[in-house]
Amino acid sequence: MKWTAILVLLCVLACGCGGVRIPSGVTVVGGFELNRYLGTWYEVARLDHPFERGLTHVKATYSLNKDGSVQVLNQGYDPGKAAWKKAIGRAKFVGEQTVGHLKVSFFGPFYGGYNIIELDPEYGHALVCGPKRSYLWTLARQQSLPKDVQDRLVERARTLGFPVDALIFVKQSQPPTLPDE
């Protein structure tokens, strides 16, 4: 429980300080369909942050709340502590629901940007950034991506000015026992 509170606080501080904006020169996807995006996404690569540092087998599960917002369940395994960590948040659209620009909160009224900057037409993989170029994630419906797809996403992020040389490729193979959800 203590770790979850620290995780939430760090996430608020890290994401919330940048607001819900989109980084300059970056555009989000249009034609977005929330119902197709819901479900489980595996974190293939990320830029490192204290709230995820050292975690493996990271995944996010998105589901619709009764009020129309999106429940965000983030989970990752801490091999040093042999324990699963999770944080539950809520996402809302910043504007139109057909645009991949959302805001996510893991603590009260403090939101950070969740910007979908590339999305596979089949909703099989996505490139997501926060309000600053220091927040970047490659997500996929599977635990890995074909090398050519991953390379293309990394190159796209590079052209947008993200520090892709610092990307961490997340261990997803041989997952430990999953926590009760």
pLDDT in tens, 122-158: 999 999 999 999 999 999 999 999 999 999 999 999 9
Domain region containing 163: 2-169
The pTM is what?
0.85
Q: Is the pLDDT of residue 1 over 50?
A: no
Average pLDDT over residues 66-93: 94
Q: Average per-residue pLDDT in the chain?
A: 89
pLDDT of residue 14: 45
Give domain status of residue 73, yes or no: yes
CATH number of the domain bearing residue 34? 2.40.128.20
pLDDT for the residue numbered 10: 44
Confidence of residue 178 (pLDDT cuts 50, 70, 90): low
Asked whether residue 12 is domain-assigned, the answer is yes
In a domain, 181, yes or no: no
Flag whether pLDDT at 31 surpasses 50: yes
| DSSP assignments along 64-124, one per residue | E-TTS-EEEEEEEEETTTTEEEEEEEEEEESS-TTBSEEEEEEETTEEEEEEEEEE-TTSS
Q: Which residue in the block uniquely carries the two structure tokens 């620009």?
A: 101
Q: What is the pLDDT of residue 175?
A: 65
* Number of domains within the chain: 1
DSSP string, 135-176: -EEEEESSSS--HHHHHHHHHHHHHTT--GGGEEEPP-SSPP
